[in-house]
Amino acid sequence: MLEKNFNFAEVEARQYPQWEKSGVFAAQPESNKERFTIMMPPPNVTGSLHMGHALNMTLQDILTRYNRMKGKDSLWMPGTDHAGIATQLVVERQLDAEGKKRADLGREKFLERVWEWKAYSGGTITSQLRRLGATPDWDREAFTMDDNLSRAVVKVFVQLYKDGLLYRDKRLVNWDPKFHSAISDLEVEAREMKGHLWHIQYALEGEEARTITVATTRPETMLGDTAIAVNPEDERYKGLIGKMAIVPVANRLIPIIADEYADPEHGSGAVKITPAHDFNDFEVGKRHNLPMINIFDKDAHLNENAPEDYRGLERFAARKKILKELEELEILEKVENITHTVPHGDRSGVVIEPYLTDQWYVDAKTMSQPVVAAIKSGRTEMVPKNWEKITFDWIDNLQPWCVSRQLWWGHQVPAWYDEDGKVYVAETEEEAQAQAPGKTITRDPDVLDTWFSSALWPFSTLGWPGKNPDLEKYYPGSLLITGFDIIFFWVLRMMMMGIHFMGDVPFKKVYLHALVLDGKGQKMSKTKGNVIDPLTLIEKFGADALRFTMSASAAQGRDIRMSEDRVEGYRNFTTKLWNAAKYCEMNDAFPKEGFDPSKVKNTLNQWIVGEVLNTANSIAEALEAYKFNEASAAIYQFTWGTFCDWYLEFTKPYLNPVIRSDDEESGDSSAAQNDIAEEIRTTTGWVLEQILRLLNPFMPFVTEELYGQIARREKGDTLLTAAWPDYPKALIRKEAAAEIAWAQKVISEIRSVRSDMNVPAGAKIALVVQDASEATKKRLKIYDPALKQMARLSSIELLSGKAPGRSIKAIVDEATLILPIAELIDLDKERERLQKQIAKLEDDIRKTEAKLGNEQFVANAPAEILDEFRTRKVEFQQMIDKLATALEQLEAA
RNA sequence: GGGCGUUUAGCUCAGUGGUAGAGCGCUUCGUUUACACCGAAGAUGUCGGGAGUUCGACCCUCUCAACGCCCACCA
């Protein structure tokens, strides 16, 4: 017997290890089944599960399970990422707490610490994925710093260097003064801030009375000025071009140059040029061969290129000091309050400094051209489609990708330098040495951007650069599911690398899902303290409920607001299913071997069997189109709304002898009734089993448990290996569906009337049908037990001619409901109800008539629409007539 | 500044060129042997404003507004 409630905690803990042990998560490279490959976006190895993962992983697991059931050889490749900066930061913080710095330990010891931390916390995220019920091929779990993946990184680096797509260059980078490292454009976050625009007068050489005014938001950088630029068309300054100005405080001479970059409309029209500390100025400087004076050190403190009393000052302290000095010199012409965007490090949170250094760059622009082609030709398709355009726009403005980081945790750059600074790129030190005979070489201390190694994920995890049969079979992947927030960081870079090294796109489709926000629509973040922990929800409502919430919320193109109410609602759904199964068990309604759903005779059974097919089709169709919300809605609606609310209720009278015994008029022999009951039991069991299969990808735990205990309680197989139902079209029986629709309508109407008339719940009423057609009579007979049970009727009587005077009627097709218990009825209320209904119908008729009276409509509307309007009108009129009769009779009473 | 998205029932959100939908919440009723984490019935909307295309617009076009996100070097 099933327990009273679904104990999800117990079931989850018991089921998962069994699944994993059974080995069905594993791909089957030897099989010749059609394959389904999906690469898990590797989470940070030392991280823990957040809502975004829960969404992302649930969707992947649903499709993996679905495809596995469809009989495909499914590879869901799991793994984790070393997450360079993030992980190094955590360990540095730990050291900090011990009062140490990473420099104290030295590189080797520090890396040992990081590996220790990885060993300690690295299992968290993967065990949490198991809690969620995810079924990737764990045996293949990869880590971006595994030996073979690291080999791939080196190989790629060297090859790109040889191909001229990777090079070392001295240019401005986004420098993070806190991490002492370069970061990529993508890791810079522009934050809007209040600031000032200072107008400063620079004196001209030789004519100290004349000045030229420049405007700047960063006065401290004037110590590195090497020119003033004015627009060549700017009449105000034409005469000054070629003259020299004096940088205040620094007392250095700089030329006044003409450059289009200076916008006469902006500021004073003259702009100071600081090539070493501004991206635009850098370009201007290159155009005019200006010297580049770097005035900062790696902490963004002023260095020896600044006047002596500024050296060592932090940049903002320097700003204060210089402003004070300018004021004293009375050359601070004015100060404007402005809001502007200031670049910040997305992880460090400090202001990013454009900084002149040597770094390694990937020629992303060149490499992304084939990516554009692949997307345009449809070799990789993005879902939703609008991301494709955004992608193209981004690629259009692509800058070289700075891939070196001045960190220790990561893949060390495979480049060596000799005493003269000449660089040797090679896979090993021996090879590098061979290129530099007789020289002493030292390795580049920098490591690569985390995303460099994850860009190789689709093939490095399959054994590349080795010759691995897996690579042949599973590349390119069928699908990538990830959040749109890492489309530039990761998706496109995988495409660049995949196309370059594998000669083919890494995946055929990319499904980009939205972000998970908190209940108020805010991004979840630790600093805001609004993070909802998926593990908490799993503990409270079960993994199935959380998974279903994720799936049901995943409409395309919209962020998801996470609310606990919704999870609770789907927890209730698991309970509902559990109880339905319990009901089946109580009624011996189990699936039977050899049962052929297309052979059922009873209308109810024919109908439900067709509904199962419709539902299965809807789910499959929705999943193939990545409409997870529609798929979820279909199975939810069928299970609860169709199976539980209607089918089980409809069939109860046939299964329950107590209810059936007071039905003596149905005319069926008890043998025939037994046959019906038997068919219902078998069908019910079959439907339950289909629900368990269809729902399994979404709610694996509860379905597996019920499958084991009810549906396949003797054989002990599992849904993991069960086939996705493939039904014959013959299951659809239109006539049966129409019959049941009629019965549903009758029952709903009777219920509605009962309720409106305040008939006490316990009181049974009679349905008296006047002048019924033969078809209606037949139907009434077929659904007699169901009508009595579900609409709480005492009897159904057939009358011809006028109904008894003191009765009240409501209309259900031709059926007339008569309530002989006049005392129970509030006449005024009933009159009001009828009048209201009539008024509404009359209004509907007016609208319909107006429509049909419109010549253009009649001329242009398609036939079926026109017909619909005509029948509609007739129906409305019939109902009004019947209601009017009822009202008449009411008045008579 | 550029781009994108959103605006539908009290809340969270689906949705389609042909008389508006779900879940939650709310109201009323209900201990009928699966289920109160339940069942039945019900109320609530000029589908953001305006204009246009169409026989017909919540859906297509334009425009305005509000909110959100992304991108951007304007000193």
DSSP letter assigned to residue A412: B
Rounded Cα gap, residues A117 and A129, in angstroms: 20
Query: Which single residue has its CA nearest the C1' atom of nucleotide B6?
Result: A558
Q: How far is the CA of A846 from the C1' of B58 (A)?
A: 22
The nt closest to A640 (CA vs C1′) is: B35
Q: How far is the CA of A764 from the C1' of B29 (A)?
A: 15
Write the DSSP string, A252-307.
Answer: EEEEEEE-TTS-TTSTTSEEEE-TTS-HHHHHHHHHTT------B-TTSBB-TTS-
Task: Average the pLDDT over A201-209 and give the result.
Answer: 84
Rounded Cα gap, residues A382 and A402, in angstroms: 26
Q: How far is the CA of A630 from the C1' of B9 (A)?
A: 21
Residue pair A690/A38 in contact (Cβ under 8 Å)? The answer is no
Task: Average the pLDDT over A6-29 and give the result.
Answer: 93
Structure-model confidence comparison of residues A620 and A237, the more confident one: A620
Q: State pLDDT tens for residues A556-575.
A: 767 888 888 899 999 999 99
Q: State pLDDT tens for residues A309-349.
A: 988 889 999 999 999 888 888 888 888 888 888 899 888 88
Q: Which residues pair with A270 in a beta bridge?
A: A230
Rounded Cα gap, residues A746 and A727, in angstroms: 30
The angle subtended at Cα A262 by Cα A259 and Cα A264, nearest 5°, is: 125
Q: How far is the CA of A333 from the C1' of B14 (A)?
A: 59
What was the pLDDT predicted at A805? Answer: 37
Q: How far is the CA of A731 from the C1' of B15 (A)?
A: 28
Q: Which amino acid is at A48?
A: S
Tokens of A371: 């990516």
Q: Is the pLDDT of residue A34 over 70?
A: yes
Q: How far is the CA of A329 from the C1' of B65 (A)?
A: 50
Tokens of A77: 């490749």
Return the minimum-mean-pLDDT range out of A163-172, A434-443, A670-679: A670-679
Q: How far is the CA of A779 from the C1' of B41 (A)?
A: 25
Q: How far is the CA of A877 from the C1' of B54 (A)?
A: 29
Q: How far is the CA of A749 from the C1' of B21 (A)?
A: 21
The nt closest to A230 (CA vs C1′) is: B75
Query: Which single residue has its CA nearest the C1' atom of nucleotide B56?
Result: A857
List chain B nucleotides near protein: any atom < 7 Å from a Cβ.
Answer: 3-6, 12-15, 18-19, 22-24, 28-35, 37-42, 54-56, 68-75
Q: Is the pLDDT of residue A806 over 60?
A: no
Query: Which single residue has its CA nearest the C1' atom of nucleotide B15?
Result: A630
The nt closest to A583 (CA vs C1′) is: B34
Q: pLDDT band at residue A801, thresholds of 50, 70 and 90?
A: low
Q: How far is the CA of A733 from the C1' of B16 (A)?
A: 26
Q: How far is the CA of A385 from the C1' of B48 (A)?
A: 26
Write the DSSP string, A300-338.
Answer: SBB-TTS-GGGTT-BHHHHHHHHHHHHHHHT-EEEEEEE
Q: Write down the pTM of the prediction.
A: 0.91
Residues contacting A728, CB < 8 A, separation 6+: A598
Q: Is the pLDDT of residue A489 over 60?
A: yes
Q: What per-residue string of b and e applies to A73-85 under the rule 16 or more CB within 10 Å gives b?
A: bbbbbbbbbbbbb
Residue A10's SS3 state is helix
**What CA–CA distances, in Å, run from A163 to A484, A500, A501, A504, A528?**
30, 10, 11, 18, 46
Q: pLDDT band at residue A608, thresholds of 50, 70 and 90?
A: very high
Tokens of A338: 């402005």
Q: How far is the CA of A786 from the C1' of B38 (A)?
A: 20
What was the pLDDT predicted at A264? Answer: 83
Q: What is the CA radius of gyration of chain A?
A: 38
Nearest one of A510, A532, A511, A535 to A522, comparing CA atoms = A532
Query: Which single residue has its CA nearest the C1' atom of nucleotide B35?
Result: A579
Listed as own residue / partner, the contacts of A654-662 with beta carbons closer than 8 Å and 24 or more positions apart are: A654/A680, A654/A785, A655/A587, A655/A589, A655/A680, A655/A681, A659/A785, A659/A789, A660/A785
Q: From start to end of A690-779, where are the E strands?
A: 765-770
The nt closest to A561 (CA vs C1′) is: B12
The nt closest to A520 (CA vs C1′) is: B12
Query: Which single residue has its CA nearest the C1' atom of nucleotide B19?
Result: A844
The nt closest to A792 (CA vs C1′) is: B32
The nt closest to A571 (CA vs C1′) is: B37
Nearest one of A218, A215, A295, A290 to A257, comparing CA atoms = A290
Residue pair A230/A241 in contact (Cβ under 8 Å)? The answer is yes
Tokens of A126: 């993967």
Residue pair A300/A179 in contact (Cβ under 8 Å)? The answer is no
Residue pair A145/A405 in contact (Cβ under 8 Å)? The answer is no
Structure-model confidence comparison of residues A843 and A57, the more confident one: A57
Q: State pLDDT tens for residues A649-689.
A: 999 888 876 544 444 444 556 677 788 889 999 999 999 99
**What CA–CA distances, in Å, run from A798 to A545, A774, A778?**
49, 11, 11
Task: Average the pLDDT over A208-221 and give the result.
Answer: 88
Q: Is the pLDDT of residue A706 over 70?
A: yes
The angle subtended at Cα A279 by Cα A277 and Cα A282, nearest 5°, is: 75
Rounded Cα gap, residues A151 and A141, in angstroms: 17
Structure-model confidence comparison of residues A410 and A826, the more confident one: A410
Write the DSSP string, A435-499.
Answer: HSTT---EE---EE-HHHHHTTHHHHTTTTTS--HHHHHH-SEEEEEEEGGGIIIIIHHHHHHHH
The nt closest to A633 (CA vs C1′) is: B22
Number of other CB atoms surrounding residue A183 within 10 Å: 23
ipTM metric: 0.94
What was the pLDDT predicted at A239? Answer: 85
Residues contacting A103, CB < 8 A, separation 6+: none
Rounded Cα gap, residues A772 and A775, in angstroms: 8
The nt closest to A386 (CA vs C1′) is: B4
Q: How far is the CA of A384 from the C1' of B71 (A)?
A: 19
What was the pLDDT predicted at A808? Answer: 42
Tokens of A4: 């009273």
Tokens of A642: 């169709």
What was the pLDDT predicted at A661? Answer: 45
Q: Is the pLDDT of residue A824 over 60?
A: no
Residues contacting A665, CB < 8 A, separation 6+: A784
The nt closest to A565 (CA vs C1′) is: B24
Q: Is the pLDDT of residue A733 over 90?
A: no
Q: How far is the CA of A649 from the C1' of B35 (A)?
A: 13
Residues contacting A156, CB < 8 A, separation 6+: A452, A456, A497, A501
Q: pLDDT band at residue A879, thresholds of 50, 70 and 90?
A: confident
Residue A616's SS3 state is helix
Query: Which single residue has its CA nearest the C1' atom of nucleotide B72?
Result: A190
The nt closest to A855 (CA vs C1′) is: B55
Residue A145's SS3 state is coil
Q: pLDDT band at residue A881, thresholds of 50, 70 and 90?
A: confident
The angle subtended at Cα A873 by Cα A872 and Cα A876, nearest 5°, is: 85
The nt closest to A868 (CA vs C1′) is: B18
Q: pLDDT band at residue A479, thresholds of 50, 70 and 90?
A: very high
> Hey, which of A127-141, A237-251, A582-596, A862-876 has the most confident mean pLDDT?
A127-141
Rounded Cα gap, residues A713 and A688, in angstroms: 13
> Hey, which of A156-170, A511-525, A667-681 has the most confident mean pLDDT?
A156-170
The mean predicted confidence, pLDDT, of chain A is 87
Q: How far is the CA of A284 from the C1' of B75 (A)?
A: 13
Q: Is the pLDDT of residue A818 over 70?
A: no
What was the pLDDT predicted at A668? Answer: 57
Q: State pLDDT tens for residues A59-89.
A: 999 999 999 999 999 999 999 999 988 899 8
Q: How far is the CA of A574 from the C1' of B18 (A)?
A: 38
Task: Average the pLDDT over A716-740 and give the result.
Answer: 86
Q: How far is the CA of A171 from the C1' of B16 (A)?
A: 55
Q: Is the pLDDT of residue A94 over 60?
A: yes
The nt closest to A630 (CA vs C1′) is: B14
Task: Average the pLDDT over A760-787 and give the result.
Answer: 76
- Using a pLDDT cut of 70, give the percent of chain A over it: 92
Tokens of A523: 């991004």
Residue pair A636/A552 in contact (Cβ under 8 Å)? The answer is yes
Query: Which single residue has its CA nearest the C1' atom of nucleotide B4?
Result: A390
Q: State pLDDT tens for residues A629-649.
A: 999 999 999 999 999 999 999
